[in-house]
Structure 1
């Protein structure tokens, strides 16, 4: 899926479409490089990337830092909800005392999660 110099020119759209079809996606035409960049920029917000690492990610996705931060990343509220949801799920399942003295990054939930 990632380009390399030994294979010459690649058409990214065709590669993504072929991979989406091979993966059995219900709507492979919705798999685009723009949506992939948006997804990566969004989901990596829950990681604790340092500025240099964030710059590497942005560069790899074909952005400068300004574009990455202003157009592709979600608002901080999204990150807050993702991190705090672990705490809320732990409380709902009666496991909150298990995480005494830990920060949100250290909380990992195991087993079946509450549905609803």
Structure 2
């Protein structure tokens, strides 16, 4: 079972999680990160590292955010791999905790 990046990552894109991933299964879009479910080894190292608390085990994705399971799988096939921490988006702190950000996800 893989881990999934969910709604609160949109427009924040903290990359602390990327630094601890032993298999480099994160992929980077313009304002969101995703995890490739076929590469994730379910080590759980990324989950506590996320300052936005946006990473969940696939079976613990919050109600109403299940669409992120498919989005992670889909977008990880198109976006470039990211293996090193980068700065968060400039206005990440303002967006952290804002609900229902799916409409702001840039592909």
TM-score, structure 1 normalization: 0.25
TM-score, structure 2 normalization: 0.27
Specify which structure has the higher proportion of helix: 1
- Which structure has the bigger radius of gyration? 1
Give the structure, 1 or 2, with the largest relative contact order (CA under 8 Å, sep 6 or more): 2
